[in-house]
Amino acid sequence: MTSILYDTPGPRAKRRNVVFSVVFFVLLALFLWWIWQTMDEKGQLRWALWKPFTESQAWTTYLLPGLANTLKAAALAMVIALPLGAFFGISRLSDHRWVRGPAGVVVEFFRAIPVLLLMLFANEFYDRYTNVTSEQRPLYAVITGLVLYNASVLAEIVRAGILSLPKGQSEAAMAVGLRKGQTMTNVLLPQAVTAMLPAIVSQLVVIVKDTALGGVMIGFTELLNTRGTLAANYANVVQSFVVVAVLYILLNFILTSFASWLEGRLRRSKKSTGAVLGEDTVEMNPAAVRGAFGTGENTGGGGGGAF
Amino acid sequence: MFDFLEGYDVLGAFWMTVKLTVLSALGSLVWGTLLAAMRVSPVPLMRGFGTAYVNFVRNIPLTVIIVFTSLGLADIFGMTMGASDDFDTQGFRLAVLGLAAYTAAFVCEAIRSGINTVPVGQAEAARAIGLSFRQVLSLIVLPQALRSVIGPLANVLIALTKNTTVAAAIGVAEAALLMKEMIENEAQTLAIGAVFALGFVVLTLPTGLILGWLSKRLAVKR
Protein backbone atom coordinates (compact mmCIF):
# COMPACT_ATOMS: atom_id res chain seq x y z
CA MET A 1 0.00 0.00 0.00
CA THR A 2 1.21 3.46 -0.80
CA SER A 3 0.66 6.22 1.68
CA ILE A 4 1.82 9.76 2.02
CA LEU A 5 4.57 8.66 4.40
CA TYR A 6 6.03 5.51 2.92
CA ASP A 7 6.22 3.58 -0.30
CA THR A 8 5.29 -0.02 -0.88
CA PRO A 9 7.81 -1.86 1.33
CA GLY A 10 10.65 -3.72 -0.29
CA PRO A 11 12.43 -6.76 1.18
CA ARG A 12 14.46 -4.72 3.66
CA ALA A 13 11.56 -2.62 4.82
CA LYS A 14 9.46 -5.76 5.19
CA ARG A 15 12.10 -7.35 7.41
CA ARG A 16 12.34 -4.18 9.49
CA ASN A 17 8.56 -4.06 9.88
CA VAL A 18 8.56 -7.63 11.16
CA VAL A 19 11.18 -6.68 13.76
CA PHE A 20 9.10 -3.65 14.82
CA SER A 21 5.99 -5.81 15.03
CA VAL A 22 7.70 -8.35 17.26
CA VAL A 23 9.20 -5.70 19.56
CA PHE A 24 5.87 -3.89 19.84
CA PHE A 25 4.02 -7.15 20.45
CA VAL A 26 6.38 -8.04 23.29
CA LEU A 27 5.99 -4.61 24.89
CA LEU A 28 2.21 -4.75 24.58
CA ALA A 29 2.11 -8.27 25.99
CA LEU A 30 4.30 -7.22 28.92
CA PHE A 31 1.99 -4.28 29.63
CA LEU A 32 -1.15 -6.43 29.51
CA TRP A 33 0.53 -9.06 31.68
CA TRP A 34 1.41 -6.33 34.19
CA ILE A 35 -2.22 -5.16 34.30
CA TRP A 36 -3.42 -8.75 34.74
CA GLN A 37 -0.86 -9.33 37.49
CA THR A 38 -1.84 -6.15 39.35
CA MET A 39 -5.53 -7.01 39.10
CA ASP A 40 -4.79 -10.49 40.43
CA GLU A 41 -2.67 -9.14 43.28
CA LYS A 42 -5.46 -6.86 44.43
CA GLY A 43 -7.95 -9.69 44.13
CA GLN A 44 -9.91 -7.97 41.40
CA LEU A 45 -10.15 -11.06 39.21
CA ARG A 46 -12.20 -13.09 41.70
CA TRP A 47 -15.28 -14.44 39.99
CA ALA A 48 -17.49 -13.31 42.88
CA LEU A 49 -16.89 -9.68 41.87
CA TRP A 50 -17.81 -10.26 38.24
CA LYS A 51 -20.65 -12.69 38.86
CA PRO A 52 -23.35 -10.05 39.62
CA PHE A 53 -23.24 -8.95 35.99
CA THR A 54 -24.27 -12.40 34.82
CA GLU A 55 -27.39 -12.26 36.97
CA SER A 56 -30.48 -10.28 36.18
CA GLN A 57 -30.75 -8.44 39.50
CA ALA A 58 -27.75 -6.16 38.95
CA TRP A 59 -29.18 -5.19 35.58
CA THR A 60 -32.82 -4.70 36.49
CA THR A 61 -32.24 -2.79 39.74
CA TYR A 62 -29.22 -0.67 38.82
CA LEU A 63 -27.83 -0.64 35.32
CA LEU A 64 -30.93 -0.70 33.15
CA PRO A 65 -32.81 2.09 34.98
CA GLY A 66 -29.61 4.15 34.83
CA LEU A 67 -29.19 3.42 31.15
CA ALA A 68 -32.84 4.35 30.56
CA ASN A 69 -32.28 7.73 32.23
CA THR A 70 -29.09 8.30 30.22
CA LEU A 71 -30.97 7.55 27.01
CA LYS A 72 -33.91 9.71 28.06
CA ALA A 73 -31.77 12.75 28.81
CA ALA A 74 -29.63 12.27 25.70
CA ALA A 75 -32.62 11.75 23.40
CA LEU A 76 -34.53 14.76 24.74
CA ALA A 77 -31.43 16.94 24.52
CA MET A 78 -30.84 15.84 20.93
CA VAL A 79 -34.43 16.42 19.88
CA ILE A 80 -34.41 19.94 21.31
CA ALA A 81 -30.85 20.89 20.38
CA LEU A 82 -30.98 19.88 16.72
CA PRO A 83 -33.75 22.25 15.56
CA LEU A 84 -32.48 24.98 17.88
CA GLY A 85 -28.99 24.59 16.46
CA ALA A 86 -30.31 24.69 12.90
CA PHE A 87 -32.27 27.82 13.77
CA PHE A 88 -29.25 29.64 15.19
CA GLY A 89 -26.96 28.41 12.44
CA ILE A 90 -29.28 29.74 9.75
CA SER A 91 -29.83 32.96 11.69
CA ARG A 92 -26.10 33.59 11.66
CA LEU A 93 -26.21 33.47 7.87
CA SER A 94 -29.05 35.98 7.67
CA ASP A 95 -28.76 39.05 5.47
CA HIS A 96 -30.08 41.22 8.28
CA ARG A 97 -27.55 42.48 10.75
CA TRP A 98 -30.03 42.56 13.64
CA VAL A 99 -30.63 38.82 13.19
CA ARG A 100 -27.06 37.82 12.45
CA GLY A 101 -25.53 39.79 15.34
CA PRO A 102 -27.54 38.53 18.32
CA ALA A 103 -27.46 34.94 17.00
CA GLY A 104 -23.68 35.18 16.74
CA VAL A 105 -23.35 36.51 20.28
CA VAL A 106 -25.55 33.75 21.73
CA VAL A 107 -23.71 31.01 19.85
CA GLU A 108 -20.21 32.24 20.69
CA PHE A 109 -21.12 32.80 24.33
CA PHE A 110 -22.58 29.37 25.05
CA ARG A 111 -19.86 27.65 23.03
CA ALA A 112 -17.17 29.17 25.23
CA ILE A 113 -18.66 27.92 28.52
CA PRO A 114 -18.15 24.40 29.88
CA VAL A 115 -21.33 22.36 29.82
CA LEU A 116 -20.87 21.55 33.51
CA LEU A 117 -21.21 25.22 34.49
CA LEU A 118 -24.44 25.42 32.50
CA MET A 119 -25.80 22.34 34.26
CA LEU A 120 -24.85 23.64 37.73
CA PHE A 121 -26.41 26.99 36.97
CA ALA A 122 -29.59 25.48 35.53
CA ASN A 123 -29.93 23.22 38.56
CA GLU A 124 -29.75 26.15 40.96
CA PHE A 125 -31.94 28.31 38.74
CA TYR A 126 -34.75 25.73 38.66
CA ASP A 127 -34.44 25.29 42.40
CA ARG A 128 -34.87 28.98 43.18
CA TYR A 129 -37.10 30.42 40.53
CA THR A 130 -39.36 27.61 39.33
CA ASN A 131 -41.50 24.96 40.96
CA VAL A 132 -39.96 21.96 39.26
CA THR A 133 -40.07 19.10 41.76
CA SER A 134 -36.79 18.05 43.28
CA GLU A 135 -37.01 14.59 41.64
CA GLN A 136 -37.40 16.14 38.21
CA ARG A 137 -34.87 18.91 38.71
CA PRO A 138 -31.64 17.04 37.85
CA LEU A 139 -33.16 15.79 34.59
CA TYR A 140 -34.30 19.29 33.68
CA ALA A 141 -30.91 20.77 34.57
CA VAL A 142 -28.98 18.17 32.58
CA ILE A 143 -31.15 18.67 29.52
CA THR A 144 -30.96 22.46 29.79
CA GLY A 145 -27.18 22.43 30.04
CA LEU A 146 -26.79 19.98 27.19
CA VAL A 147 -29.23 21.86 24.95
CA LEU A 148 -27.68 25.30 25.47
CA TYR A 149 -24.14 24.08 24.82
CA ASN A 150 -24.79 21.62 22.03
CA ALA A 151 -27.29 23.77 20.17
CA SER A 152 -24.62 26.44 19.81
CA VAL A 153 -22.04 23.90 18.64
CA LEU A 154 -24.58 22.44 16.19
CA ALA A 155 -25.32 25.96 14.98
CA GLU A 156 -21.68 26.31 13.97
CA ILE A 157 -21.79 22.92 12.22
CA VAL A 158 -24.89 23.94 10.27
CA ARG A 159 -23.34 27.26 9.33
CA ALA A 160 -20.10 25.65 8.17
CA GLY A 161 -22.03 22.97 6.28
CA ILE A 162 -24.07 25.54 4.36
CA LEU A 163 -21.01 27.68 3.69
CA SER A 164 -19.18 24.63 2.32
CA LEU A 165 -21.66 24.36 -0.58
CA PRO A 166 -20.59 25.84 -3.92
CA LYS A 167 -21.84 29.38 -4.38
CA GLY A 168 -23.45 28.38 -7.68
CA GLN A 169 -26.15 26.53 -5.76
CA SER A 170 -27.69 29.62 -4.17
CA GLU A 171 -27.05 31.70 -7.28
CA ALA A 172 -28.87 29.17 -9.45
CA ALA A 173 -31.74 29.04 -6.95
CA MET A 174 -31.98 32.82 -7.03
CA ALA A 175 -31.83 32.80 -10.83
CA VAL A 176 -34.86 30.50 -11.12
CA GLY A 177 -36.74 32.88 -8.85
CA LEU A 178 -36.81 31.08 -5.50
CA ARG A 179 -37.11 33.19 -2.40
CA LYS A 180 -34.44 33.22 0.29
CA GLY A 181 -36.46 30.88 2.50
CA GLN A 182 -37.11 28.51 -0.37
CA THR A 183 -33.44 28.56 -1.36
CA MET A 184 -32.53 27.54 2.16
CA THR A 185 -35.12 24.79 2.68
CA ASN A 186 -35.25 23.36 -0.86
CA VAL A 187 -31.70 23.79 -2.13
CA LEU A 188 -29.07 24.46 0.52
CA LEU A 189 -30.19 22.53 3.61
CA PRO A 190 -30.85 19.16 1.93
CA GLN A 191 -27.39 19.20 0.39
CA ALA A 192 -25.65 20.49 3.49
CA VAL A 193 -27.17 17.78 5.70
CA THR A 194 -25.11 15.08 4.02
CA ALA A 195 -21.94 17.09 4.40
CA MET A 196 -22.71 17.88 8.03
CA LEU A 197 -23.74 14.42 9.13
CA PRO A 198 -20.32 13.18 10.40
CA ALA A 199 -19.88 16.34 12.49
CA ILE A 200 -23.46 16.20 13.78
CA VAL A 201 -23.06 12.59 14.84
CA SER A 202 -19.85 13.24 16.74
CA GLN A 203 -21.78 15.96 18.54
CA LEU A 204 -24.58 13.52 19.37
CA VAL A 205 -21.93 11.21 20.84
CA VAL A 206 -20.81 14.17 22.96
CA ILE A 207 -24.36 14.59 24.24
CA VAL A 208 -24.53 10.92 25.29
CA LYS A 209 -21.17 11.20 27.06
CA ASP A 210 -21.95 14.46 28.81
CA THR A 211 -25.05 13.07 30.50
CA ALA A 212 -22.55 11.38 32.84
CA LEU A 213 -21.61 14.81 34.24
CA GLY A 214 -25.10 15.23 35.63
CA GLY A 215 -24.77 11.89 37.40
CA VAL A 216 -21.71 12.90 39.38
CA MET A 217 -22.28 16.60 39.94
CA ILE A 218 -26.01 17.14 40.38
CA GLY A 219 -27.26 13.70 41.35
CA PHE A 220 -29.06 12.76 38.17
CA THR A 221 -29.60 8.98 38.40
CA GLU A 222 -28.06 8.00 35.09
CA LEU A 223 -25.74 5.11 34.29
CA LEU A 224 -22.61 6.40 36.08
CA ASN A 225 -24.67 7.37 39.10
CA THR A 226 -26.42 4.00 39.44
CA ARG A 227 -23.01 2.35 38.99
CA GLY A 228 -22.06 3.94 42.32
CA THR A 229 -25.05 2.38 44.07
CA LEU A 230 -24.33 -0.95 42.43
CA ALA A 231 -20.66 -0.89 43.45
CA ALA A 232 -21.61 0.04 46.99
CA ASN A 233 -23.90 -2.98 47.10
CA TYR A 234 -21.63 -5.61 45.53
CA ALA A 235 -18.27 -4.00 46.44
CA ASN A 236 -17.01 -4.32 42.87
CA VAL A 237 -15.79 -0.85 41.89
CA VAL A 238 -13.36 -1.80 39.13
CA GLN A 239 -15.71 -4.35 37.60
CA SER A 240 -18.65 -1.94 37.52
CA PHE A 241 -16.49 0.68 35.80
CA VAL A 242 -15.48 -1.85 33.15
CA VAL A 243 -19.11 -2.79 32.50
CA VAL A 244 -20.28 0.82 32.39
CA ALA A 245 -17.45 1.81 30.04
CA VAL A 246 -18.36 -1.07 27.73
CA LEU A 247 -22.02 0.02 27.79
CA TYR A 248 -21.08 3.59 26.80
CA ILE A 249 -18.80 2.32 24.02
CA LEU A 250 -21.57 0.06 22.68
CA LEU A 251 -24.13 2.87 22.85
CA ASN A 252 -21.91 5.29 20.94
CA PHE A 253 -20.89 2.57 18.51
CA ILE A 254 -24.54 1.94 17.65
CA LEU A 255 -25.08 5.67 17.19
CA THR A 256 -22.08 6.04 14.88
CA SER A 257 -22.93 2.95 12.83
CA PHE A 258 -26.48 4.14 12.35
CA ALA A 259 -25.14 7.49 11.18
CA SER A 260 -22.72 6.04 8.67
CA TRP A 261 -25.53 3.84 7.34
CA LEU A 262 -27.73 6.92 7.04
CA GLU A 263 -24.96 8.90 5.42
CA GLY A 264 -24.39 6.23 2.80
CA ARG A 265 -28.11 6.09 2.12
CA LEU A 266 -28.46 9.86 1.80
CA ARG A 267 -25.47 10.02 -0.48
CA ARG A 268 -26.80 7.29 -2.75
CA SER A 269 -30.38 8.55 -3.03
CA LYS A 270 -30.79 10.96 -5.87
CA LYS A 271 -34.41 11.71 -5.13
CA SER A 272 -33.92 13.81 -2.04
CA THR A 273 -31.21 16.13 -3.20
CA GLY A 274 -30.87 16.05 -6.94
CA ALA A 275 -28.15 14.71 -9.20
CA VAL A 276 -25.59 17.38 -8.36
CA LEU A 277 -25.21 16.13 -4.85
CA GLY A 278 -23.50 12.83 -5.60
CA GLU A 279 -20.40 14.23 -7.21
CA ASP A 280 -20.55 17.48 -5.33
CA THR A 281 -20.46 16.14 -1.81
CA VAL A 282 -18.13 13.27 -2.53
CA GLU A 283 -15.65 15.63 -4.09
CA MET A 284 -16.24 18.61 -1.86
CA ASN A 285 -16.98 17.00 1.39
CA PRO A 286 -13.69 15.93 2.98
CA ALA A 287 -11.71 18.98 2.01
CA ALA A 288 -14.51 21.45 2.49
CA VAL A 289 -15.63 20.17 5.84
CA ARG A 290 -12.10 19.85 7.11
CA GLY A 291 -11.40 23.39 5.95
CA ALA A 292 -14.48 24.69 7.63
CA PHE A 293 -13.93 22.91 10.91
CA GLY A 294 -10.22 22.68 11.14
CA THR A 295 -8.36 25.64 9.84
CA GLY A 296 -11.32 27.89 9.18
CA GLU A 297 -12.46 30.88 11.13
CA ASN A 298 -13.07 29.01 14.34
CA THR A 299 -12.81 31.25 17.32
CA GLY A 300 -14.34 28.93 19.82
CA GLY A 301 -14.43 25.21 20.36
CA GLY A 302 -16.33 24.31 17.22
CA GLY A 303 -14.25 21.55 15.72
CA GLY A 304 -13.31 20.38 19.15
CA GLY A 305 -16.99 19.66 19.37
CA ALA A 306 -16.07 16.02 19.31
CA PHE A 307 -15.55 16.36 23.04
CA MET B 1 -22.42 44.75 44.41
CA PHE B 2 -19.63 42.21 44.18
CA ASP B 3 -19.59 41.52 47.90
CA PHE B 4 -20.71 37.95 47.24
CA LEU B 5 -17.16 37.32 46.01
CA GLU B 6 -15.78 37.92 49.49
CA GLY B 7 -14.40 34.87 51.21
CA TYR B 8 -14.04 32.94 47.98
CA ASP B 9 -10.79 32.50 46.08
CA VAL B 10 -12.16 32.83 42.55
CA LEU B 11 -8.80 33.70 41.00
CA GLY B 12 -7.17 30.79 42.78
CA ALA B 13 -9.80 28.44 41.35
CA PHE B 14 -9.21 29.71 37.83
CA TRP B 15 -5.46 29.41 38.37
CA MET B 16 -6.07 25.74 39.18
CA THR B 17 -8.04 25.45 35.92
CA VAL B 18 -5.11 26.94 34.02
CA LYS B 19 -2.63 24.59 35.69
CA LEU B 20 -4.82 21.58 34.87
CA THR B 21 -5.12 22.75 31.26
CA VAL B 22 -1.43 23.38 30.68
CA LEU B 23 -0.18 20.16 32.28
CA SER B 24 -2.76 17.91 30.60
CA ALA B 25 -2.16 19.70 27.29
CA LEU B 26 1.54 18.86 27.49
CA GLY B 27 0.85 15.28 28.51
CA SER B 28 -1.75 14.71 25.82
CA LEU B 29 0.47 16.31 23.17
CA VAL B 30 3.27 13.84 23.88
CA TRP B 31 1.03 10.76 24.13
CA GLY B 32 -1.19 11.90 21.26
CA THR B 33 1.79 12.40 18.94
CA LEU B 34 3.04 8.91 19.81
CA LEU B 35 -0.42 7.50 19.08
CA ALA B 36 -0.58 9.37 15.77
CA ALA B 37 2.85 8.02 14.83
CA MET B 38 1.53 4.53 15.55
CA ARG B 39 -1.63 5.09 13.53
CA VAL B 40 0.29 6.10 10.40
CA SER B 41 3.14 3.62 10.84
CA PRO B 42 3.70 0.78 8.33
CA VAL B 43 3.47 -1.79 11.15
CA PRO B 44 -0.07 -3.27 11.23
CA LEU B 45 0.06 -4.13 14.94
CA MET B 46 0.91 -0.53 15.91
CA ARG B 47 -1.81 0.78 13.62
CA GLY B 48 -4.27 -1.61 15.23
CA PHE B 49 -3.30 -0.55 18.73
CA GLY B 50 -3.57 3.16 17.87
CA THR B 51 -6.96 2.71 16.25
CA ALA B 52 -8.27 0.64 19.14
CA TYR B 53 -7.07 3.14 21.75
CA VAL B 54 -8.61 6.10 19.96
CA ASN B 55 -11.94 4.38 19.33
CA PHE B 56 -12.30 3.08 22.87
CA VAL B 57 -11.19 6.21 24.71
CA ARG B 58 -13.17 8.59 22.50
CA ASN B 59 -16.41 6.78 23.25
CA ILE B 60 -16.05 6.64 27.03
CA PRO B 61 -17.27 9.76 28.86
CA LEU B 62 -14.44 11.80 30.37
CA THR B 63 -16.39 11.78 33.63
CA VAL B 64 -16.14 7.98 33.79
CA ILE B 65 -12.38 8.14 33.21
CA ILE B 66 -11.77 10.86 35.80
CA VAL B 67 -13.92 9.23 38.47
CA PHE B 68 -12.19 5.92 37.76
CA THR B 69 -8.74 7.43 38.34
CA SER B 70 -9.87 8.33 41.83
CA LEU B 71 -12.09 5.39 42.86
CA GLY B 72 -10.26 2.74 40.84
CA LEU B 73 -6.61 3.63 40.30
CA ALA B 74 -6.04 5.42 43.60
CA ASP B 75 -8.39 3.64 46.01
CA ILE B 76 -8.18 0.06 44.75
CA PHE B 77 -4.82 -0.18 43.00
CA GLY B 78 -3.01 2.25 45.28
CA MET B 79 -1.76 4.46 42.45
CA THR B 80 -1.39 7.59 44.53
CA MET B 81 0.86 9.44 42.09
CA GLY B 82 3.51 9.99 44.76
CA ALA B 83 1.16 11.91 47.03
CA SER B 84 -0.56 9.33 49.21
CA ASP B 85 -0.89 11.63 52.23
CA ASP B 86 -1.88 14.82 50.40
CA PHE B 87 -5.39 14.34 49.06
CA ASP B 88 -5.45 17.60 47.05
CA THR B 89 -2.18 16.98 45.19
CA GLN B 90 -3.22 13.40 44.54
CA GLY B 91 -6.56 14.48 43.07
CA PHE B 92 -4.85 17.07 40.92
CA ARG B 93 -2.32 14.59 39.51
CA LEU B 94 -4.98 11.96 38.90
CA ALA B 95 -7.11 14.52 37.07
CA VAL B 96 -4.15 15.48 34.87
CA LEU B 97 -3.55 11.79 34.14
CA GLY B 98 -7.19 11.21 33.17
CA LEU B 99 -7.46 14.40 31.10
CA ALA B 100 -4.22 13.63 29.25
CA ALA B 101 -5.21 10.02 28.51
CA TYR B 102 -8.59 11.18 27.17
CA THR B 103 -7.40 14.22 25.22
CA ALA B 104 -4.55 12.26 23.61
CA ALA B 105 -7.11 10.40 21.50
CA PHE B 106 -8.30 13.72 20.06
CA VAL B 107 -4.77 15.06 19.61
CA CYS B 108 -3.94 11.88 17.70
CA GLU B 109 -6.90 12.39 15.38
CA ALA B 110 -6.03 16.05 14.80
CA ILE B 111 -2.45 15.21 13.87
CA ARG B 112 -3.48 12.29 11.68
CA SER B 113 -5.99 14.44 9.79
CA GLY B 114 -3.24 17.04 9.35
CA ILE B 115 -0.97 14.46 7.76
CA ASN B 116 -3.83 13.34 5.54
CA THR B 117 -4.35 16.85 4.15
CA VAL B 118 -0.96 16.66 2.41
CA PRO B 119 -1.63 15.40 -1.13
CA VAL B 120 0.06 12.06 -1.91
CA GLY B 121 1.55 13.66 -5.02
CA GLN B 122 3.82 15.75 -2.80
CA ALA B 123 5.52 12.70 -1.34
CA GLU B 124 5.57 10.90 -4.69
CA ALA B 125 7.25 13.87 -6.35
CA ALA B 126 9.76 14.07 -3.52
CA ARG B 127 10.62 10.38 -3.88
CA ALA B 128 10.82 10.78 -7.65
CA ILE B 129 13.57 13.38 -7.36
CA GLY B 130 15.48 10.98 -5.14
CA LEU B 131 14.95 12.29 -1.60
CA SER B 132 15.42 9.75 1.17
CA PHE B 133 12.65 8.78 3.61
CA ARG B 134 13.97 11.16 6.23
CA GLN B 135 14.23 14.02 3.72
CA VAL B 136 10.70 13.38 2.43
CA LEU B 137 9.40 13.52 5.96
CA SER B 138 11.36 16.50 7.26
CA LEU B 139 11.44 18.69 4.14
CA ILE B 140 8.16 17.93 2.39
CA VAL B 141 5.48 16.22 4.45
CA LEU B 142 5.86 17.44 8.03
CA PRO B 143 6.25 21.19 7.26
CA GLN B 144 2.96 21.06 5.36
CA ALA B 145 1.22 18.78 7.83
CA LEU B 146 2.20 20.75 10.95
CA ARG B 147 0.71 23.92 9.51
CA SER B 148 -2.67 22.33 8.91
CA VAL B 149 -2.60 20.75 12.37
CA ILE B 150 -2.59 24.08 14.24
CA GLY B 151 -6.29 24.77 13.68
CA PRO B 152 -7.58 21.38 14.86
CA LEU B 153 -5.13 21.37 17.80
CA ALA B 154 -6.37 24.80 18.85
CA ASN B 155 -9.89 23.39 18.99
CA VAL B 156 -8.65 20.46 21.07
CA LEU B 157 -6.94 22.88 23.47
CA ILE B 158 -10.09 24.95 23.87
CA ALA B 159 -12.17 21.85 24.48
CA LEU B 160 -9.57 20.69 27.02
CA THR B 161 -9.84 23.99 28.88
CA LYS B 162 -13.57 23.44 29.21
CA ASN B 163 -13.13 19.75 30.05
CA THR B 164 -10.95 20.53 33.07
CA THR B 165 -14.20 21.34 34.90
CA VAL B 166 -14.84 17.58 35.03
CA ALA B 167 -12.01 17.39 37.59
CA ALA B 168 -14.56 18.83 40.02
CA ALA B 169 -16.05 15.32 40.06
CA ILE B 170 -13.08 14.10 42.14
CA GLY B 171 -12.88 17.24 44.27
CA VAL B 172 -10.11 19.19 42.57
CA ALA B 173 -10.59 22.78 43.71
CA GLU B 174 -10.99 24.36 40.29
CA ALA B 175 -13.51 26.82 38.87
CA ALA B 176 -16.54 24.52 38.52
CA LEU B 177 -16.27 23.19 42.07
CA LEU B 178 -16.03 26.68 43.49
CA MET B 179 -19.01 27.77 41.41
CA LYS B 180 -21.04 24.83 42.75
CA GLU B 181 -20.17 25.83 46.30
CA MET B 182 -20.85 29.54 45.77
CA ILE B 183 -24.07 29.12 43.86
CA GLU B 184 -25.47 26.90 46.62
CA ASN B 185 -24.52 29.27 49.44
CA GLU B 186 -24.98 32.75 48.02
CA ALA B 187 -28.13 34.45 46.85
CA GLN B 188 -26.83 36.05 43.64
CA THR B 189 -27.30 33.07 41.32
CA LEU B 190 -27.15 35.10 38.12
CA ALA B 191 -24.15 37.21 39.11
CA ILE B 192 -22.14 34.15 40.14
CA GLY B 193 -23.01 32.39 36.90
CA ALA B 194 -21.96 35.47 34.95
CA VAL B 195 -18.60 35.77 36.76
CA PHE B 196 -17.65 32.16 36.05
CA ALA B 197 -18.94 32.27 32.48
CA LEU B 198 -16.84 35.37 31.91
CA GLY B 199 -13.81 33.63 33.36
CA PHE B 200 -14.09 30.86 30.80
CA VAL B 201 -14.75 33.26 27.95
CA VAL B 202 -11.55 35.07 28.96
CA LEU B 203 -9.64 31.79 28.98
CA THR B 204 -10.94 30.32 25.72
CA LEU B 205 -11.54 33.31 23.47
CA PRO B 206 -7.92 34.58 23.18
CA THR B 207 -6.66 31.01 22.61
CA GLY B 208 -9.10 30.63 19.74
CA LEU B 209 -8.37 34.04 18.25
CA ILE B 210 -4.57 33.78 18.43
CA LEU B 211 -4.29 30.20 17.21
CA GLY B 212 -7.00 30.78 14.57
CA TRP B 213 -5.04 33.75 13.25
CA LEU B 214 -1.83 31.73 13.30
CA SER B 215 -3.34 28.76 11.46
CA LYS B 216 -4.77 31.06 8.79
CA ARG B 217 -1.46 32.85 8.40
CA LEU B 218 0.53 29.66 8.13
CA ALA B 219 -2.02 27.77 6.00
CA VAL B 220 -0.61 26.12 2.90
CA LYS B 221 -2.21 27.75 -0.11
CA ARG B 222 -3.36 25.05 -2.45
Residues 186-205 of B with CB under 8 A from A: 189, 193, 196-197, 200-201, 204-205
Note whether B213 contacts A: Cβ–Cβ < 8 A.
no
Which residue of B lies nearest to A303 if distances are taken between CA atoms? B155
Contact at CB, A5 and B176, closer than 8 angstroms: no
| Structure confidence by residue, pLDDT tens digits, A223-273 | 999 999 999 988 889 999 999 999 999 999 999 998 888 888 887 775 444
Longest alpha-carbon distance in chain B:
72
> Is B3's pLDDT higher than 80?
no
> Which residues does chain A have within 8 Å of residue B78's beta carbon, measured at their own beta carbons?
42
Residues 107-126 of B with CB under 8 A from A: 109-110, 113, 115-120, 122-124
From the candidates A2, A4, A126, which should be mutated to test the interface with B, based on the most B CB atoms within 10 A? A4
Distance (Å) from the alpha carbon of A41 to chain B's nearest alpha carbon: 9
Contact at CB, A307 and B106, closer than 8 angstroms: yes
> Which residues does chain A have within 8 Å of residue B216's beta carbon, measured at their own beta carbons?
295, 297
Euclidean distance between CA atoms B89 and B66, whole angstroms: 15
pLDDT in the model for residue A271 = 47
pLDDT in the model for residue A278 = 32
Euclidean distance between CA atoms A289 and A266, whole angstroms: 17
Note whether B33 contacts A: Cβ–Cβ < 8 A.
no
| Structure confidence by residue, pLDDT tens digits, B93-149 | 999 999 999 999 999 999 988 888 888 888 889 888 988 878 888 888 888 888 889
| Structure confidence by residue, pLDDT tens digits, B160-212 | 999 999 999 998 999 999 999 999 888 888 899 999 999 999 999 888 889 88
Euclidean distance between CA atoms B8 and A14, whole angstroms: 62
CB A296, CB A287: distance < 8 Å: no
Note whether B184 contacts A: Cβ–Cβ < 8 A.
yes
Distance (Å) from the alpha carbon of A186 to chain B's nearest alpha carbon: 32
Contact at CB, B63 and A224, closer than 8 angstroms: yes
> Is A292's pLDDT higher than 60?
no
- The mean pLDDT value for B24-39 works out to 93
From the candidates B155, B160, B163, B179, which should be mutated to test the interface with A, based on the most A CB atoms within 10 A? B155
Contact at CB, A304 and B158, closer than 8 angstroms: yes
From the candidates B21, B54, B68, B113, which should be mutated to test the interface with A, based on the most A CB atoms within 10 A? B68
Contact at CB, B44 and A6, closer than 8 angstroms: no
Note whether B139 contacts A: Cβ–Cβ < 8 A.
no
- Is residue A303 classed exposed, middle or buried when 0-12, 13-18 and 19+ CB atoms within 10 A define those classes? buried
Euclidean distance between CA atoms A191 and B130, whole angstroms: 44
**Residue percentage of chain A with pLDDT more than 70:** 87
pLDDT in the model for residue B1 = 62
Please tell me the number of Cα atoms within 13 Å of B33 on its side-chain side.
10
pLDDT in the model for residue A280 = 33
> Is A276's pLDDT higher than 70?
no
Cβ-nearest to B201 among A112, A296, A302: A112
- Identify the band that residue A284 occupies on the pLDDT scale cut at 50, 70 and 90: very low
Euclidean distance between CA atoms A21 and A117, whole angstroms: 46
Q: Nearest-CA neighbor of B96 among B141, B154, B143, B29?
A: B29
| Structure confidence by residue, pLDDT tens digits, B66-81 | 999 999 888 888 887 7
Report CA torsion sign: B131, B137, B142, B144: positive
Q: Is the ipTM here above 0.85?
A: yes
pLDDT in the model for residue A270 = 55
pLDDT in the model for residue A209 = 94
Please tell me the number of Cα atoms within 13 Å of B129 on its side-chain side.
9
- The mean pLDDT value for A4-27 works out to 88
Alpha helix positions (H), chain A: 11-41, 47-50, 56-58, 64-92, 97-112, 115-129, 137-163, 167-175, 180-182, 189-217, 223-234, 237-268, 276-290
